[in-house]
Amino acid sequence: MAIMLISFILTAVIVILSIRFYDQLLAIYISKLLARYSILHKYAANVPDFLLVIVCITTASAFIAYLTRKRKGIYNKDTTFFHLTMYAVPATYVAKTFLKYVFGRTNTREWLHKPDLYGFHWFQGGGLNVSFPSGHMAVFSALAASLWRFYPSYRVIYALFLLVLAVALVATNYHYLSDVVAGAYLGVLVEACTYKVLKPDH
C-alpha cells in the first residue's frame, strides 16, 4: 500500500510538472521538426488506431489459452499469466476510456491548430477531448507488467518496448508527454490491482 501511494505521488508530480512546463513546448518543437520533413509529417498524421482490435485479440487469445490449460488441468505460471492478462488488458482499456471522459483533454494535434482549445474540459471527454491518459501506453504497460511479473528474464525487452512506444507517441504528436506518463502508470496500476483481486495460487 505504501509503495502504491508513493508511486502515485511521484507520478502525479511528474505529470503536473510536465503539464505546467514541458507538454506545450515539446509539442510545438516536434510540430516544427515534422514540418521540415514532409514524409515524416505525412506518416505521423496518418497512423491508424488499432488499439481496440489489439485489446480484443489479446483478451480473446489469453482467454482461449487459459480455458484450454484449465480444462487440461495445467496450473502453472503460464496459466496464471493468461488468467491475469485476460482481465488486466480489457480492464485497463475500460479504465482509460472512463478517465479520458473525466479529464476531457484536447488532443495535441487539435491544440496545435486551435491553441485556444488547450486544456482539460472536465467530464466532456469524447471527440477531440480524448488525450489524457494515453490508452496505447496504458494497455501495453498493463501487458508488459504482466509479462514482467511472470517472465522476468526478458524485462529489458519489455522496458525497451515501452520506451520506444512512449517516444513514438510523443514524437508523432499523438500525445503530450504527460499523457504517456499517466498512461504508463495507469496500466501498471490496473495490472497490480487485478493481480491482487485474482489472488493466483501459482
Count of the separate structural domains present in the chain: 1
The DSSP result for the chain, as a single string, is -HHHHHHHHHHHHHHHHIIIIIHHHHHHHHHHHHHH-HHHHHHHHT----HHHHHHHHHHHHHHHHHHHHHTT--SHHHHHHHHHHHHHHHHHHHHHHHHHHH-BPPHHHHHH-GGG-SB-TT--BTTB--SS-HHHHHHHHHHHHHHHH-GGGHHHHHHHHHHHHHHHHHTTSS-HHHHHHHHHHHHHHHHHHHHHH----
Residue 71 structural domain: 2-198
pLDDT digits (tens, 9 = 90+) for 3-19: 888 999 999 999 999 99
pLDDT digits (tens, 9 = 90+) for 67-79: 999 999 999 999 9
Domain CATH number, residue 111: 1.20.144
To the question of pTM greater than 0.85 for the whole model, the response is: yes
